[in-house]
Amino acid sequence: MKKSVFLGTLAATTVLSGAVFAATLDDVKARGELICGANTGLTGFAAPDANGEYQGFDAALCKAVAAAVLGDPTKVKFVPLTGETRFTALASGEVDLLVRNSTWTYSRDTDLKFDFVAVNYYDGQGFMVKKDLGVASAKELDGATVCIQTGTTTELNLADFFKSNNITYTPVTVVDDTEAANQYLAGACDAYTTDASGLAATRATLADAENHIILPEIISKEPLGPVVRHGDNNWGDIVRWTYYALLIAEEKGITKANLEEVAASTTDPETRRLLGLEGEMGVMMGLDNNWAKNAIAVSGNYGEIFEANLGTSTPIGLARGLNALWTQGGLQYAPPVR
Amino acid sequence: MAMVSDAPKGNFRLSMLVYDTRYRSFTIQVIVLGLFIAFVAWLLLNLQANLAAKDKDISYSFLFNRAGYDIDQQLIPYTNDSTHGRALFVGLFNTLAVSIAACFAATLIGVTAGVLRLSKNWIVGRLMTVYIEVFRNVPLLLWILLAFSIFAQVMPEPKDFKVTQEMVDQGLEPPAQKIFFDSIAITNRGTNVPAPLLDRPLGSVSVLDVPINLSVLAAIAVIWGSFWVNGRIRASAKAIQEDTGIRPVTWWKSLLVLIVPTTALLLALGFHLEVPAFAADENGVSKGFNFVGGISLAHSFTALFLALSIYHGTYIAEAVRGGILAISRGQTEAAYALGLRPNRTMNLIILPQALRVIVPPLISQYLNITKNSTLGMAISYLDLKGTLGGITLNQTGRELECMLLMMLIYLILSLTISLGMNIFNNSVKLKER
């Protein structure tokens, strides 16, 4: 009798675990909602607006995936995650997809069993200090107290940077950007370090932004991108190609405004394949053929999303830099839809 | 005449397992044990299956890898080149430091407040009631956050202590000053206190990679020795008093024995204090970001220590009050009849007897203090939860391993405290012969 209990439990757990971790696409379709792990609040990337709806560069990608999979960009639930909780949430299946300016690293990719499907923002770590501190370079920060988000790659880069420059610092660990900004403003630390884009976003929310400067040193490579669980390749493909669809749209000049017009008149074979006018591209991933069209319709192509949330016309004011298309000297490059 | 008949032998039937009271209890116990084992096995199989589904294994090898992060408060030497295992110990020692300090302070506060609450002085008694009721009925986490934010918001920034060129030119003082003869600086980041320094230290030996400071050991030995000699002097004085009825004058001997050897040792080692200060150029203009030298106690430690000791002090106060009330009034009256003053009655008659009642709840308070020190994570105090269960867990992604190890360490810690306090309890409890 005991043996049958064992076998029964074994069978049950195997079935259960299989169901949880294999076909994310089927889960999302059955649920009718995409659950997306997002930042607890980083203006420009993912932060709730006045109506409590998530807006931003990362949030737009979640909405595009929801549109590609479910045909409706509003069917996405954002789960706010800190640097500490994000990977546990993804690994446990609490979220289907993590788009939370997370850095692609070797050990996260291999040991933590995740897949970084693309790089949606090429970033690097920087420092922000108050102007009246009189510091012009990060190498002058000997003996300073530095606010640092725990559980991040920046925590390790910081230690490496100070060590390689033979200078010392005192770390103050914080859990998210909001707490970091509070501690930094209260003077609990002399400098705040995180991804340069995050610094720009935090600086934009400060009342006296002109009194804070971002130091010129970029001390690391921080390729940020959407993350999925290892082992569900089809789901990884869907997220990856939704992102590439936004890039190809920018390359082909397809915008939110002219999407319908292009779809009606285009003769370019790749554009026709992308928009589902010919071929069975969507079906190959288990989606509708107009998946890419739906994704682009949400908030436009990659360039439009960048300009609307982070670009020079916003308070954050980031230039495209490395994130320009490869045709314009940047690193953003999508493989062909064929 | 035999009243108990022998059990019938030889005709055991299976149904007797249920219907015979002699076997039924065995049957029930075997079933319960079986179910329990099945439950544990189910949990383990579940774990195994889920780990396999995620393609993960259980491995503690990360403890021997380079940690790569820095910790600001450390009682044993640690750099970012040290291993995760060492970071674990740094955290463990931080846990122990704040727990032990808070246990002592909470006991002091608790005993005082508990005794004073019974005071006949109306104001004192009511004040203690207010203290106990207010602090006991607000969650500990809020007290920790409150204490921390008071320090962080009210105290001046380190830069307010700096002397600028303008101040030198115009002969002005910086907006913030150090206290206690210009030796202690309280900033919004921490308390900078003078550090004891030795010009001619005895060096140190390394035991299990933890350096043991010989100078400190020598000082402890000398102080302990002085107290032992002082004890001998007092004992011989007592013996003379009992023989002759006259107590010889000993205070100058005690003073000499207690002070001279320690002072001599400190002088020989070249003891002096290093006062925290900003680095300054030749004109007296301060440079740098923070105080240099001295010991910096982060406010996360101070706030956690204060909140833990004041909050748990209320529980200890109630235990003390209960213990005192448990001693019959006749004991006090008997002591008064012998002419003992209220102070001595409390210290010599009531408290020693009350200890029997006080110690068991005291054990659980010490356990609570140790466990509640994990709340320090709210103010970034890097205790065991902060290093092993926080940064190491996040950087390695080994949630299960870190959590299990942390639970095991806290369990061992609690059992050790419990064991020690139970030994103490056995020594004070009523001896029944």
- Subunit contact A84:B159, Cβ cutoff 8 A: no
- Subunit contact B70:A142, Cβ cutoff 8 A: no
Strand partners, A125: A195
Token pair belonging to B63: 């403890």
CA A75 to chain centre: 18
Mean pLDDT across the stretch A312-325? 90
The beta-carbon neighbor of A187 closest among B34, B188, B390 is B188
More confidently predicted of A16 and B388 = B388
pLDDT digit string, tens, across residues A66-112:
999 999 999 999 999 988 788 889 988 999 999 998 999 998 898 88
The shortest C-alpha distance from A84 to chain B (Å) reads: 6
The shortest C-alpha distance from A183 to chain B (Å) reads: 9
Query: Looking at A220, A242, A275, which one is the last position of a domain?
Result: A220
CA nearest to B314, candidates B148, B150, B130 = B130
The rounded distance, in Å, linking the Cα atoms of B186 and B214 is 31
pLDDT the model gives residue A31: 94
The shortest C-alpha distance from A144 to chain B (Å) reads: 5
CB within 8 Å of A214: residues ≥ 6 apart: A126, A127, A128, A196, A199, A200, A203
Beta strands B204-207; B185-186: pairing state: unpaired
State the total domains in chain A: 2
Q: Looking at the structure, tell me whether residues A230 and A87 fall in a common domain.
A: yes
Q: Looking at the structure, tell me whether residues A255 and A157 fall in a common domain.
A: no
The rounded distance, in Å, linking the Cα atoms of B85 and B207 is 16
Q: What is the DSSP string of B152-215?
A: HHHSPPGGGGPPPHHHHHHTPPPSS--BTTTTBEE-SSEEEE-EEEESS---EEEETTEEEEHH
End-to-end CA distance of chain A: 57
> Which part of chain B is CATH 1.10.3720.10?
84-155+295-428
The dihedral through the CA atoms of A290, A292, A293, A297 has a sign that is positive
Q: Looking at the structure, tell me whether residues A18 and A115 fall in a common domain.
A: yes
Q: Taking CB atoms and an 8 Å cutoff, what residues of chain B touch A230?
A: 54-55
pLDDT the model gives residue B1: 47
Q: How far is CA A279 from CA A25, A282, A294, A327, in A?
A: 22, 9, 17, 27
The shortest C-alpha distance from A265 to chain B (Å) reads: 47
Looking at chain A, which residue has its C-alpha nearest residue B50? Answer: A17
Identify whether the C-beta of residue B276 lies closer than 8 Å to the C-beta of residue B177.
no
In a domain, A191, yes or no: yes
pLDDT the model gives residue A17: 44
Token pair belonging to B32: 């319960």
Q: Looking at the structure, tell me whether residues A111 and A228 fall in a common domain.
A: yes
pLDDT the model gives residue A18: 43
Q: Taking CB atoms and an 8 Å cutoff, what residues of chain A touch B55?
A: 113, 230-231
pLDDT the model gives residue A310: 92
- Subunit contact B382:A173, Cβ cutoff 8 A: yes
Q: Hey, is the C-beta of A4 within 8 angstroms of any chain B C-beta?
A: no
Token pair belonging to B236: 């011989």
Please check the confidence at residue A9 and state whether its pLDDT lies above 60.
no
Alpha helices for chain A (secondary structure H):
2-21, 24-31, 57-70, 86-91, 106-110, 153-164, 177-186, 196-205, 233-252, 259-265, 269-274, 281-284, 291-299, 302-309
Looking at chain B, which residue has its C-alpha nearest residue A8? Answer: B42
Q: Looking at the structure, tell me whether residues A169 and A240 fall in a common domain.
A: no
Q: Looking at the structure, tell me whether residues A198 and A243 fall in a common domain.
A: no
Q: Taking CB atoms and an 8 Å cutoff, what residues of chain B touch A188?
A: 152, 188-189
Q: Looking at the structure, tell me whether residues A177 and A282 fall in a common domain.
A: no
The rounded distance, in Å, linking the Cα atoms of A32 and A22 is 17
Identify whether the C-beta of residue A1 lies closer than 8 Å to the C-beta of residue B38.
no
Token pair belonging to B20: 């015979």
Identify whether the C-beta of residue B84 lies closer than 8 Å to the C-beta of residue B355.
no
Among A170, A189, A227, A230, most B C-beta atoms within 10 A, so best to mutate, is: A170
Among B150, B289, B381, B395, most A C-beta atoms within 10 A, so best to mutate, is: B289
Token pair belonging to A199: 């610094």
Q: Taking CB atoms and an 8 Å cutoff, what residues of chain B touch A170?
A: 72, 189, 290, 296
In a domain, A336, yes or no: no
The rounded distance, in Å, linking the Cα atoms of B146 and B135 is 12
CA nearest to A85, candidates A103, A98, A104, A96 = A98
In a domain, A335, yes or no: no
Token pair belonging to B289: 């970001």
The rounded distance, in Å, linking the Cα atoms of A301 and A259 is 10
Q: Looking at the structure, tell me whether residues A248 and A280 fall in a common domain.
A: yes
CA nearest to A153, candidates B78, B68, B71, B73 = B68
Please check the confidence at residue A319 and state whether its pLDDT lies above 80.
yes
- Subunit contact A155:B390, Cβ cutoff 8 A: no
Give CA torsion, residues B163, B169, B170, B175, to 10 deg: -10
The rounded distance, in Å, linking the Cα atoms of B428 and B359 is 9
pLDDT the model gives residue A116: 95
CATH of the domain at A310: 3.40.190.10
In a domain, A337, yes or no: no
* 3-class state of residue B425 by DSSP: helix
Percent helix, strand, coil in chain B, to 5, is 65, 10, 25
C-beta contacts of B218-224 below 8 A and 24+ residues apart:
B218/B265, B218/B269, B219/B262, B219/B265, B219/B266, B222/B261, B222/B262, B222/B265, B223/B262
Q: Looking at the structure, tell me whether residues A264 and A191 fall in a common domain.
A: no
* 3-class state of residue A36 by DSSP: strand
Please check the confidence at residue A3 and state whether its pLDDT lies above 70.
no
Burial of B242-278, coded b for 16+ CB within 10 Å and e otherwise, reads: eeeeeeeebeeebeebeeeeeeebbeebebeeebbbb
Looking at chain A, which residue has its C-alpha nearest residue B80? Answer: A159
Q: Hey, is the C-beta of A166 within 8 angstroms of any chain B C-beta?
A: no
Please check the confidence at residue A312 and state whether its pLDDT lies above 60.
yes
The shortest C-alpha distance from A124 to chain B (Å) reads: 18
The rounded distance, in Å, linking the Cα atoms of B321 and B358 is 9
Average pLDDT of every residue of chain A: 88
Q: Does domain B84-155+295-428 have CATH number 1.10.3720.10?
A: yes
CA angle in degrees (0–180, nearest 5) for B72-B75-B76? 105
The rounded distance, in Å, linking the Cα atoms of A73 and A34 is 9
pLDDT the model gives residue B3: 55
Over the Cα atoms of chain A, what is R_g?
22
- Subunit contact A151:B49, Cβ cutoff 8 A: no
Token pair belonging to B290: 């923070």
Q: Taking CB atoms and an 8 Å cutoff, what residues of chain A touch B36?
A: none
Q: Which of residues 122-141 of A touch B (CB under 8 A)?
A: 133, 141
pLDDT the model gives residue B400: 86
Query: Looking at A204, A220, A236, which one is the last position of a domain?
Result: A220
In a domain, A338, yes or no: no
Which positions of chain B have pLDDT values less than 50? Answer: 1
Q: Looking at the structure, tell me whether residues A78 and A136 fall in a common domain.
A: no
Give the count of Cβ contacts less than 8 A between chain A and B. 117
* DSSP E strand boundaries for B199-311: 204-207, 210-213, 271-274, 277-280, 286-292, 295-298
CA A91 to chain centre: 16
Identify whether the C-beta of residue B168 lies closer than 8 Å to the C-beta of residue B283.
yes
Q: Looking at the structure, tell me whether residues A306 and A321 fall in a common domain.
A: yes
Token pair belonging to B203: 């060096």
- Subunit contact A17:B399, Cβ cutoff 8 A: no
Token pair belonging to A167: 């200078």
Please check the confidence at residue A15 and state whether its pLDDT lies above 90.
no
The shortest C-alpha distance from B236 to chain A (Å) reads: 55
Token pair belonging to B59: 């491995």
pLDDT band at A22 (very low <50, low <70, confident <90, very high): low
Identify whether the C-beta of residue A203 lies closer than 8 Å to the C-beta of residue A210.
no
pTM of the complete model: 0.80
In a domain, A78, yes or no: yes
- Subunit contact B397:A145, Cβ cutoff 8 A: no
Q: Taking CB atoms and an 8 Å cutoff, what residues of chain A touch B38?
A: 2, 5-6
The beta-carbon neighbor of B380 closest among A88, A169, A173 is A173
pLDDT digit string, tens, across residues A254-309:
999 999 999 999 999 999 999 999 888 999 999 999 999 999 999 999 999 999 99
Over the Cα atoms of chain B, what is R_g?
30
Identify whether the C-beta of residue A24 lies closer than 8 Å to the C-beta of residue A52.
no
Looking at chain B, which residue has its C-alpha nearest residue A85? Answer: B394
Identify whether the C-beta of residue B161 lies closer than 8 Å to the C-beta of residue B291.
yes
Query: Looking at A185, A220, A255, which one is the last position of a domain?
Result: A220
Token pair belonging to B211: 């350096």
The beta-carbon neighbor of B38 closest among A5, A112, A159 is A5
pLDDT the model gives residue B10: 66
pLDDT the model gives residue B215: 82
Q: Under an 8 Å CB criterion, which residues of B touch A? A: 34, 38, 41-42, 45-46, 49-50, 52-56, 68-72, 80-81, 152-153, 157, 159, 188-189, 288-290, 292, 296, 380, 382, 386, 390-391, 394-397, 399
Print the domain residue range for A300: 2-122+223-328
The beta-carbon neighbor of B397 closest among A112, A158, A229 is A112
Identify whether the C-beta of residue A250 lies closer than 8 Å to the C-beta of residue A129.
no
How large is the angle between the packed helices B251-269 and B214-244, nearest 10 degrees? 170
- Subunit contact A173:B397, Cβ cutoff 8 A: no
Mean pLDDT across the stretch A184-195? 90
Q: Taking CB atoms and an 8 Å cutoff, what residues of chain A touch B148?
A: none
Q: Looking at the structure, tell me whether residues A90 and A29 fall in a common domain.
A: yes
CA nearest to B278, candidates B266, B257, B293 = B293
End-to-end CA distance of chain B: 39
CA nearest to A25, candidates A255, A197, A283 = A283
Is this complex's ipTM strictly greater than 0.85?
A: no
The rounded distance, in Å, linking the Cα atoms of B142 and B144 is 5
